[in-house]
């Protein structure tokens, strides 16, 4: 703790969540005269925008993760606690982890979002999403095990199903996954098998709206679709998934219904806010939207509680253009930094104008040396876009701890199309057939994963 | 398959196991006129000598693993099959994976060894060993979770137990683990915590014999012990572990019995051969030694079966100096290459003199820039030894696929004492107290780990 000049006990700021929102808030409060406690379930910050590269075997989880303690080790006023907050008492001003209570003067909630199946939660068992390191390892296992199973498969139909990859959702994650799997099938592994020809792999990218990358300018969506098609990805827009069962994906296009036999389905569609939003609502009467996000005031606090803030994917901030801000890293970062400045201002008896998000643009990688970047004032595509994307991500990655060499390696892999990180780990993969996950099996998995700790 | 000149079907070589012995045999047979099938449970070759660096958060599993398919993708006569051999039929000359049979003309078994608890198998639940990627991730979880638990612990006794690390076995792995944990506690993480002082960490290295690194020259064992002590490790030789239970390690030193409260016990003591040795014995009448290793002839074949060879940790080759050759990578590599040459020679109607292991020396890392190297004709210690160790390992690592950049990163981490790969993954670590693994909990884990696939 850092004492204030007049020896009052320091102002206690508790931050829940070490993602972009929470970590940038903590960094902005580093070595000030407030006392900061950062609580997270995990001991590391995850650079989620690159998680798809773990899922596709380009980098390892640690390459895109930074231990929270080492990121904050020089912030002497900051304490990191590993734990899960399951209750908030806004009366006594404390957050609870089981029977352990942490008092706060100011509370910042930044626990983000997880993927959502629009009520079809049973699909999670057959179509993993991509939010955590464990999700990425599971996706990586599914993708690479599918080729192993195809190599052993004798029935042509089943082999085709093993070599069919369906990606649900045409946002940045879906586009990046589809492009990366095309890379794997048509380039990285083309000489690796003896019984199958990986160039026969089918990759379907399904999007409900009329174009991929909806947040981008239409011409960039068009460009993305063209590039994906060149890479060998089949892009299907205006397509709804109505069922995923027994290795068959049922889709609806207008009135037409099609069935696609596919052993590997990857989910990149919806997200819902972390349950802590509802917990906060119960304790404070704050309002949540349908996605479970907490509706915040123009200063990111919640109604009636000027000392409780919500930032990042957990927050619904609609004061800018009526629509909630998107759940992307730049929004979370700017919100976290704004709240930190506001706390400092208030302690000096000052205030700040309402939060304003400055959109620096959006980018998405499509494939090898190919991306789309929409900076508003300028739109890039192809290699220049990819290079801009690479540069921006290196810049943010090295900000925490020294990931320079990792990024060199990663760029190297990218150019050489090498994917050294394509490990299939876990006992069950001994028999690739077992990649076929039945609901029952997977419910074991879910149960197991509560117990299993050595991933 | 590659046809022989006279269009006879090519000679079928089946290799079971993609470790050093099996993979070097496969590489030596690459693009010859034999047809090679390499069977492994995993889709990657693991560079085991660096596994302790995964367990201690320096590198990621993928950094020391190479996908078998990419290592062998240019060997057009070589097929990789992912599967587990559970039966050998030496009459019909085929190996079986479940109901799938692979016929062989020549069989090479190279399935290695796993760690052994000298009959105290229940210790595996509380004192993990270090043979697989999963072992290393579990060790990493235990090591870093222990510090997290200590940070939250209020009872001084329990806190001391959380900060006590007992490593059983003073061979290279034990020495390397002890040195690395000292690094972590006294350097890497010294600024990372607010409630505990990691310099209070106790690290005990227990060895049954009268010195650490028994295979080395006595003066190097002495040097290693001195360096470990300087690093802060308490080395106890002539020490036997008689019990590990309820977070207490019971040791016997001569007549004295001591009890050490420790939440983290790591096993680096015994190994036993893979079960495939016994399976082979049943099918062929081959003899196994007490460690389960198959006793081989002077050409590494087994008695009465000149077309079945055993190499690496699974083999007991005692024709050189009466003692079995040690279970280290260089032995496995030379044995694998010898058998490959012998097969080629035999097909040309020639033969070879008996196998002879050329000992190029042994090396072990103690800690930061410190190692011992015994090349027979020259003994190195301190930085020169560490540098030699680094060079030799880089040399072997880059042989398979391009790991240069990884090794740069790893050397960089080594110099900067950075350990970016200290992720604690897995749900249970949310509450560090749960690091305390009861047998019952762990038996769930064992069960679970058969089901869980997303590590």
What pLDDT is recorded for position A1?
45
Cα separation, A407 vs A391, in Å, equals 10
Interchain proximity B449–A441, CB inside 8 Å: no
Residues A15-42: what's their mean pLDDT?
Answer: 96
Q: Which of residues 172-231 of B touch A (CB under 8 A)?
A: 189, 191-194
Cβ proximity of B245 and B262 under 8 Å: no
The closest alpha carbon to A453, from B142, B132, B128, B152, belongs to B142
Residues of chain A with C-beta less than 8 angstroms from the C-beta of B82: 148, 151-152, 424, 429-430, 432
What pLDDT is recorded for position B410?
61
Check if B101 contacts A (Cβ < 8 Å): no
Beta bridge partners of B294: B288, B315
Burial of A178 (0-12, 13-18, 19+ CB in 10 A): buried
Interchain proximity B421–A98, CB inside 8 Å: no
Residues A148-165: what's their mean pLDDT?
Answer: 96
Search chain B and give the residue with CA nearest A148. Answer: B82
Structure tokens at A452: 């299993």
More confident residue, A396 or A12: A12
Question: How does pLDDT run across B362-394, given as a tens digit for each residue?
Answer: 888 887 778 888 888 888 888 888 888 877 777
Interchain proximity B193–A69, CB inside 8 Å: yes
The mean of the pLDDT values for chain B is: 87
Contacts of A326 (CB under 8 A, 6+ apart): A215
Mean pLDDT check: name the lowest of A17-26, A354-363, B249-258: A354-363
Do the strands B256-261 and B248-253 form a parallel or antiparallel pair, or are they unpaired? antiparallel
Cβ proximity of B145 and B437 under 8 Å: no
Q: Side-chain half-sphere of A335: how many Cα atoms within 13 Å?
A: 33
What pLDDT is recorded for position B445?
28
Cα separation, B365 vs B123, in Å, equals 26
Check if B70 contacts A (Cβ < 8 Å): yes
What pLDDT is recorded for position A414?
63
Residues of chain A with C-beta less than 8 angstroms from the C-beta of B447: 448
Write phi, then psi, for A244 (nearest 5 degrees): -135, 110
| CATH code reported for the domain at B121-269+362-439 | 3.50.50.100
Determine the straight-line distance between the first and last CA of chain B, rounded to whole angstroms: 35
What pLDDT is recorded for position B405?
60
Search chain A and give the residue with CA nearest B398. Answer: A420
Beta bridge partners of B164: B202
Cα separation, B32 vs B5, in Å, equals 12
Q: What is the pTM of this model?
A: 0.86
Cα separation, B135 vs A46, in Å, equals 23
The count of other CB atoms within 10 Å of the CB of residue A241 is: 23
What pLDDT is recorded for position B60?
85
Of A70, A401, A445, the CB nearest to B451: A445
Interchain proximity B422–A43, CB inside 8 Å: yes
Structure tokens at A12: 């206690």
Check if B455 contacts A (Cβ < 8 Å): yes
B11-115+272-347 and B121-269+362-439 share one fold: yes
Axis-axis angle for helices A218-231, A172-183 (nearest 10): 20
Check if A67 contacts B (Cβ < 8 Å): yes
Asked if the model's pLDDT at residue B2 lies above 80, the reply is: no
Cα separation, B161 vs A107, in Å, equals 34
Question: How does pLDDT run across B202-237, given as a tens digit for each residue?
Answer: 999 999 999 999 878 899 999 999 999 999 999 999
How much of chain A, in percent, has pLDDT values that exceed 90?
Answer: 68
What pLDDT is recorded for position B431?
30
Asked if the model's pLDDT at residue B95 lies above 80, the reply is: yes
Search chain A and give the residue with CA nearest B148. Answer: A82
Check if A99 contacts B (Cβ < 8 Å): no
Question: How does pLDDT run across A306-353, given as a tens digit for each residue?
Answer: 999 999 999 999 999 899 999 999 999 999 999 999 999 999 999 999
Complete DSSP assignment for A187-253: IITTTT-SS--GGG-EEEEE-SSSSSSTTS-HHHHHHHHHHHHHHTEEEE-S-EEEEEETTEEEEEE
Residue to mutate among B17, B419, B452, with most A CBs inside 10 A, is B452
Of A57, A82, A434, the CB nearest to B148: A82
Asked if the model's pLDDT at residue A113 lies above 70, the reply is: yes
The count of other CB atoms within 10 Å of the CB of residue A172 is: 23
Check if A153 contacts B (Cβ < 8 Å): no
Contacts of A185 (CB under 8 A, 6+ apart): A147, A163, A198, A199, A201, A203, A232
Cα separation, B273 vs A149, in Å, equals 29
Angle, CA of A25, A86 and B152, to the nearest 5°: 75
Contacts of A121 (CB under 8 A, 6+ apart): none
Beta bridge partners of B233: B203
Question: For the domain with range A11-115+272-347, which CATH number is right: 3.40.50.2000, 3.50.50.60, 3.40.50.300, 2.40.50.140?
Answer: 3.50.50.60
Q: Which of residues 264-303 of A touch B (CB under 8 A)?
A: none
What pLDDT is recorded for position B338?
98
- Name the catalytic one among A176, A183, A335, A337: A176
Contacts of A219 (CB under 8 A, 6+ apart): A379
Cβ proximity of A141 and A166 under 8 Å: no
How confident is residue A39, by pLDDT bands cut at 50, 70 and 90?
A: very high
Interchain proximity A449–B454, CB inside 8 Å: yes
What pLDDT is recorded for position A430?
31
| A55: closest CA of chain B, how far (Å) | 11
Interchain proximity B60–A63, CB inside 8 Å: yes
Cα separation, B261 vs B243, in Å, equals 12
Beta carbon pairs, A and B, within 8 Å? 241
Cα separation, A296 vs A316, in Å, equals 6
Cα separation, B453 vs A122, in Å, equals 18
Complete DSSP assignment for A309-332: EE-GGGEE--TTTSSPPPSSHHHH
Residues of chain A with C-beta less than 8 angstroms from the C-beta of B419: 67
Torsion of CA B82, B86, B92, B94, to 10 degrees: 20
Of A83, A416, A427, the CB nearest to B430: A83
What pLDDT is recorded for position B58?
83
Determine the straight-line distance between the first and last CA of chain A, rounded to whole angstroms: 35
Check if A401 contacts B (Cβ < 8 Å): yes
How confident is residue B5, by pLDDT bands cut at 50, 70 and 90?
A: low
Give me the active site residues of B, please: 176
Of B80, B405, B453, the CB nearest to A405: B405
- Element housing B284 (H / E): helix B276-284
Complete DSSP assignment for A140-168: HHHHHHHHHHHHH--SHHHHHHHTEEEEE
Asked if the model's pLDDT at residue B451 lies above 70, the reply is: no
Of B66, B148, B412, the CB nearest to A420: B66
What pLDDT is recorded for position B12?
98
The closest alpha carbon to B178, from B228, B220, B240, B119, belongs to B228
Interchain proximity B60–A65, CB inside 8 Å: no
Residues of chain B with C-beta less than 8 angstroms from the C-beta of A446: none
Beta bridge partners of B80: B38
What pLDDT is recorded for position A442?
28
Question: How does pLDDT run across B251-288, given as a tens digit for each residue?
Answer: 999 999 999 999 999 999 988 999 999 999 999 999 99
The closest alpha carbon to A111, from A383, A336, A411, belongs to A336
Mean pLDDT check: name the lowest of A131-135, A208-212, A383-387: A383-387
Residue ranges per structural domain of chain B: 11-115+272-347, 121-269+362-439
Q: Which of residues 421-450 of A touch B (CB under 8 A)?
A: 421-432, 434, 441, 444-445, 447-450
Question: How does pLDDT run across B156-210, given as a tens digit for each residue?
Answer: 999 999 999 999 999 999 999 999 999 999 998 999 999 999 999 999 999 999 9
Question: How does pLDDT run across A228-281, given as a tens digit for each residue?
Answer: 999 999 999 999 999 999 999 999 999 999 999 999 999 999 889 999 999 999
Check if A111 contacts B (Cβ < 8 Å): no
| A343: closest CA of chain B, how far (Å) | 23
Contacts of A69 (CB under 8 A, 6+ apart): A43, A80, B189, B192, B193
Beta-strand (E) ranges in B248-407? 248-253, 256-261, 264-267, 270-273, 294-295, 301-302, 305-310, 315-316, 362-367, 370-374, 379-381
Check if B69 contacts A (Cβ < 8 Å): yes
What pLDDT is recorded for position A405?
60
Asked if the model's pLDDT at residue A398 lies above 50, the reply is: yes
Structure tokens at A283: 């304790």
Per DSSP, B392 falls in state H
Burial of A163 (0-12, 13-18, 19+ CB in 10 A): buried
What pLDDT is recorded for position B345?
97
What pLDDT is recorded for position B206?
98
How far apart, in Å, are the Cα atoms of A115 and each of A165, A327, B310? Answer: 19, 12, 49
Cα separation, A169 vs A372, in Å, equals 17
Residues of chain B with C-beta less than 8 angstroms from the C-beta of A191: 73-74
What pLDDT is recorded for position B439?
25
Check if B64 contacts A (Cβ < 8 Å): no
Residues B393-409: what's their mean pLDDT?
Answer: 64
Asked if the model's pLDDT at residue A62 lies above 90, the reply is: no
Tracing tokens 């690159």 back to the chain, one arrives at A50
Cβ proximity of B110 and B17 under 8 Å: yes
């Amino acid at each position: 703790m850092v004492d204030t000049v007049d020896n009052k006990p320091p102002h206690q700021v508790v931050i829940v969540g070490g993602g972009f929102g929470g970590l940038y808030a903590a960094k902005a409060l580093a070595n000030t005269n407030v006392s900061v406690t950062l609580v997270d379930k995990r001991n590391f910050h995850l650079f989620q925008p690159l998680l798809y590269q773990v899922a596709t075997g380009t980098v390892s989880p640690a390459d895109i993760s930074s231990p929270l303690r080492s990121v904050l080790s020089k912030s002497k006023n900051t304490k990191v606690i590993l734990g899960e907050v399951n209750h908030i008492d806004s009366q006594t001003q404390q957050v609870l982890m089981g029977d352990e209570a942490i008092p706060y003067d100011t509370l910042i909630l930044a626990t983000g979002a997880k993927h959502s199946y629009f009520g079809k939660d049973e699909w999670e068992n057959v179509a993993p999403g991509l939010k955590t390191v464990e999700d990425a390892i599971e996706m990586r296992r599914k993708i690479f095990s599918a080729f192993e199973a195809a190599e052993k498969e004798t029935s042509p139909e089943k082999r085709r199903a093993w070599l069919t990859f369906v990606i649900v959702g045409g946002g940045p994650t879906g586009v990046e996954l589809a492009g990366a799997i095309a890379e794997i099938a048509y380039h990285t592994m083309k000489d690796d098998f003896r019984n199958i020809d990986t160039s026969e792999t089918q990759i379907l990218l399904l999007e409900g709206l009329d174009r991929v990358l909806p947040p981008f300018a239409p011409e960039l969506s068009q460009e993305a679709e063209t590039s994906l098609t060149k890479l060998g990805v089949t892009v299907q827009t205006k397509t709804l998934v109505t069922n995923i069962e027994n290795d068959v994906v049922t889709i609806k296009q207008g009135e037409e219904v099609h069935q696609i036999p596919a052993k590997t389905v990857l989910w990149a569609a919806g997200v819902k806010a972390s349950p802590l939003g509802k917990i906060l609502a119960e304790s404070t009467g704050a309002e949540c939207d349908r996605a479970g996000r907490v509706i915040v005031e123009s200063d990111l606090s919640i109604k009636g509680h000027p000392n409780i803030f919500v930032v990042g994917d957990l927050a619904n901030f609609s004061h800018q253009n009526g629509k909630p801000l998107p759940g992307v890293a730049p929004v979370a970062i700017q919100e976290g930094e704004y709240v930190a400045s506001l706390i400092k201002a208030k302690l000096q008896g000052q205030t700040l104008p309402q939060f304003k998000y400055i959109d620096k643009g959006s980018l998405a990688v499509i494939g090898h040396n190919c991306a789309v970047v929409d900076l508003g004032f300028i739109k890039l595509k192809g290699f220049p876009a990819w290079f801009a994307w690479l540069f921006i991500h290196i810049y943010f990655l090295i900000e925490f701890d020294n990931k320079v060499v990792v990024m060199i390696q990663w760029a190297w892999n990218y150019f050489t199309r090498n994917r050294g990180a394509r490990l299939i780990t876990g006992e069950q993969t001994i028999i690739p057939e077992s990649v076929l996950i039945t609901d029952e099996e997977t419910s074991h998995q879910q149960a197991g994963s509560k117990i299993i700790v050595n991933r």
